[in-house]
Amino acid sequence: MSNILADELRAKYEKSFATVKGILETFPDDKWLVPHGDEYYIPSRIAYHITEFIDGFVAGGMKDPGFRDKLPFGPWQTGTPETLPGKAALISYFEGVVGRARNELVAVNDESLLTPLPEQMARIGSVEMGKHLMAMAMREIAAHTGELNKMLIENGKDDIWA
């Protein structure tokens, strides 16, 4: 069986990973924990959410029922400037997550993308490919990368797209 779809999926994840990493490295240190227009939009919070989402849905973290209880900086939703990770800590977590995600993605092939998702994941999709589309292209990573890019522009930096 060919792996045209799986290879394309891996390539797109690599672009997403590179985009997020570029944003993390470029974001101004003095603006990392500062709300941007609303207390929700703290760059560290959004970057942490992207990273924990990749960790759970791409790197396999959600296979562990206690995954959310083991997140390194607590729940991203309730993070504050005092509890959210600094840039260096978030980049370190992100790099580890990307390494684990790549290990998981190596096993993906066109056939595995057709594997049905468990019933409790029906809102995400009916097969593995749906999970990946929701994660990367149409929802989480792309949406939140856009938010961070907007914040970069607000801070006088160019947006980043790998």
Task: Give the start-to-end residue ranges of the domains of the chain.
Answer: 4-154
3 state SS of 81? coil
Whether the per-residue pLDDT at 27 is higher than 90: the answer is: yes
pLDDT at 91: 98
* CATH classification code of 4-154: 1.20.120.450
- pLDDT single digits (tens) 80-89: 999 999 999 9
Concatenating the DSSP letter of every residue in 21-72 gives HHHHHHS-GGGTTS-SSSTT--HHHHHHHHHHHHHHHTSSGGGSTTGGGG-T
Quote the CA–CA distance of 134 and 132 in Å, as a whole number: 5
Phi/psi at 127 (nearest 5 deg)?
-135, 165
Quote the CA–CA distance of 157 and 63 in Å, as a whole number: 38
Quote the CA–CA distance of 86 and 94 in Å, as a whole number: 12
Tokens of 145: 């990368």
Q: When comparing pLDDT for 159 and 23, which is higher?
A: 23
- pLDDT single digits (tens) 124-142: 788 988 888 877 655 678 8
Whether the per-residue pLDDT at 73 is higher than 80: the answer is: yes
- pLDDT single digits (tens) 29-47: 999 999 998 889 999 999 9
- pLDDT single digits (tens) 88-136: 999 999 999 999 999 999 999 999 999 998 888 788 788 988 888 877 6
Contact 16, 9 (CB under 8 A): no
pLDDT at 137: 54
Q: How many CA atoms lie within 13 A of 141 on its CB side?
A: 29
Q: When comparing pLDDT for 144 and 19, which is higher?
A: 19
Q: pTM here?
A: 0.89
